A and B are shown apart, each in its own frame.
Chain A
């Protein structure tokens, strides 16, 4: 199947997808309730989109195309409230967080959908281990080339989003010492990681995608699990490194921070992206996953070490004007609060310290999602 032509969309418009956990209120373990919940939600109009994900204990919600923080947050809250109400009716709890603290991957059931069954056959246990929960943010691009430009310009800022959203310190009942253990599960897939350094869409299509398609390894863009990938049918780039935060408020703030950053990058105030930027890409990514906001990254332009927290603060200053113009200054305030109070991985570790049990971590995640932290 040839690559779809890149549809043009309103520059800097945005959309958010959140993968959410379905939790049993008694055991606080994941529960295979996606089909029941979707059946109930089908009965009346849902304020957005909701669909099944890889396993029966996950669902994915997505917003409409938005341009500003207030309307994005309003829709996310509406969706959250509708989900919580449906969950209450079925004795199911919902939670954010990049991983469930103590679920066992082998107990998860793959959703009965052809694509997921094929992926399960292909990837074996990796498919069930993929019971991890991410936030994807789409940013609208007017042209395919501006999408590729943004995609590669963002490579240096990727650790910001990993560290700010990190909410998966616990995995299979243990503290992994990572702030985002989720990305380790994603990294196990052969087509994960970074996109090839191509800045021209025609080159990307004929020089890369067609060759890959000819190998039989991929048939569509969906087969790539890159950290950022173009989404030609939507006319967007899709940032996929964020853990699902514990609250929709944080999810909206992260999306708007990305929007403001893209607006800044499109002014070409920074040197153009280059292949050499990727020399430190995996190292920086690791620092953000492992240490969160306390990570130290290497600036590929001057090879200097810089604390991640400081780099984010500097970037916030740079994008402040753009945020004001886009109507998302409140989102940047929320990002500043994260830098002071810590990310959600820190919050979950505090919860564990208080109750000394991973079940308490899930309990706290459930309450946070309902807006009752």
Chain B
């Protein structure tokens, strides 16, 4: 009889424990809160691994839904912080972003091939590893209230790499469907149509909502609620229609920024709502860790981390002078772009909900790379302090 009770209690206790550890870790050990939230999530994964009866993955379904909304809010905020005018004024930065993403994709594909991965999993891994996870970068930047070139470039490069990753991922999925089922319609649907309709929905929301807020004459607080509800709505719509909530929310943020009225800006991090949902998000990501197969791809994961870092850093340093960045900040920006897996895990999960399941190796790899994502916030804090873009952490 205990099982249902545990099942009901696991989410509230996880969130409370996550919050408590986040605060204590922050105060005593200067550990960014999201790392602690992720550790709580890993604890859930460990418990589920030890005891199959205490509670099951199904008990966490509402955590999954909330995590996806939190994911959407973060992507919206990332899109909102992207200034397209900057990319126009500084074409070297735009070129830097494109070269960095393309080179990472090619390099990781080569690494995967070297480790004898089949072409499709290798392409999928290359797509996922191209993205720099905004899930790790944005909360730390918000928490530190940092500002400067490392901060701005990390966010912009992350956004562009995410778009690149989503496009590449969907194209590979289309190819995979074609190769497996030989179904051209489903192949095109899973790649081009999904991308265009998702981006279109984002544009629609991004154009209409600011207009509605103008009509309703809302203040910043009310606008935050409206944007949060719109993001949740967009996620549910794209989710139920099997489109890409990731691309839709990112484009929504981008469009909302460029049609904004300063009166209707959202509060940074979506105010307290963001503070709560970020616990959900990282606890959820941590709980996705597959302990059983963790060491299976250790060598490949190590190679991916190293090659990814080298390629991204080389691209940034190569364009540093031309795009107006000092070498020191170029090096620090390269390091700041390390996190990748938290984005990849959620992308895979969303793909699975569209009925697309992949090789177990992918999940194992992402699990391993996730450990890097949980350490990254600690490193990112130091980077921002070293760059002189955030106050020293006491």
Contacts and interface: CB of A to CB of B under 8 A. Distances in A.
A90 B324 contact: yes
Contacts of A26: 80-81, 83, 257
Contact of A32 (B89, B220, B324, B388): B388
B261 interface: yes
Contact of A88 (B86, B149, B219, B323): B86
26 contacts: A25-B85, A25-B86, A26-B81, A26-B257, A31-B147, A31-B148, A32-B148, A33-B147, A33-B148, A33-B149, A36-B149, A36-B324, A36-B326, A89-B89, A89-B90, A89-B323, A90-B324, A91-B83, A91-B90, A91-B152, A109-B388, A355-B261, A355-B262, A357-B262, A359-B262, A359-B265
B86 to A, nearest CB: 4
Nearest to B389: A32
A359 B263 contact: yes
Given A26-B81, A27-B268, A91-B152, A39 B326 contact: yes
A137 B118 CA distance: 71
A342 interface: no
B326 A56 contact: no
Interface in A1-55: 24-28, 31-33, 35-36, 39-40
Interface string A72-98: 000000000000001011110000000
Contact of B263 (A24, A27, A91, A355): A355
A273 interface: no
Interface band, chain B: 20 to 34
Interface string B122-147: 00000000000000000000000101
B391 interface: yes
B143 to A, nearest CB: 13
A25 B83 contact: yes
B90 A357 contact: no
Contacts of A112: 388
Contacts of B85: 25, 88
A246 B50 CA distance: 66
B33 interface: no
A33 B146 CA distance: 10
Interface string B255-278: 001000111010010000000000
Nearest to B326: A39
A327 interface: no
Interface residues of A, number: 27
A86 B147 CA distance: 17
A33 B262 CA distance: 22
A113 B388 CA distance: 13
A39 B145 CA distance: 22
A56 B83 contact: no
Interface in B152-200: 152, 156
Shortest Cβ-Cβ A-B pairs, 9 listed: A31-B147, A88-B89, A359-B262, A91-B86, A357-B263, A40-B324, A89-B324, A36-B149, A89-B90
Contacts of A300: none
A112 B387 CA distance: 12
Contacts of B81: 26
B288 interface: no
Interface string A165-192: 0000000000000000000000000000
Interface of B: 80-81, 83, 85-86, 89-90, 145, 147-149, 152, 156, 219-220, 257, 261-263, 265, 268, 323-324, 326, 329, 388-389, 391
Nearest to A41: B324
Nearest to A56: B388
Contacts, number: 66
Given A40-B324, A91-B86, A356 B263 contact: yes
A360 B262 contact: yes
B388 A363 contact: no
A26 B329 CA distance: 21
B329 A36 contact: yes
Nearest to B261: A355
Of the candidates B86, B265, B324, B391, the one having the most CB atoms from chain A within 10 angstroms of its own CB is: B324
A79 to B, nearest CB: 18
A25 B262 CA distance: 11
Contacts of A24: 147
Of the candidates B85, B152, B220, B261, the one having the most CB atoms from chain A within 10 angstroms of its own CB is: B152
A90 B329 CA distance: 13
A31 to B, nearest CB: 4
A132 B265 CA distance: 25
Contacts of B148: 31-33, 35-36
Contact of A35 (B262, B324, B388): B388
Contacts of B152: 90-91
A107 interface: yes
A89 B85 CA distance: 10
A357 B222 CA distance: 14
Contacts of B263: 355-357, 359-360
Contacts of A90: 90, 149, 152, 324
B316 to A, nearest CB: 15
Contacts of A363: 262
B391 A28 contact: no
Nearest to A25: B83
Contacts of B220: 357
Given A91-B152, A359-B263, 10 more contacts: A26-B80, A28-B262, A33-B149, A35-B148, A35-B388, A36-B148, A90-B90, A355-B263, A357-B219, A360-B262
A88 B261 contact: no
Contacts of B265: 27, 359
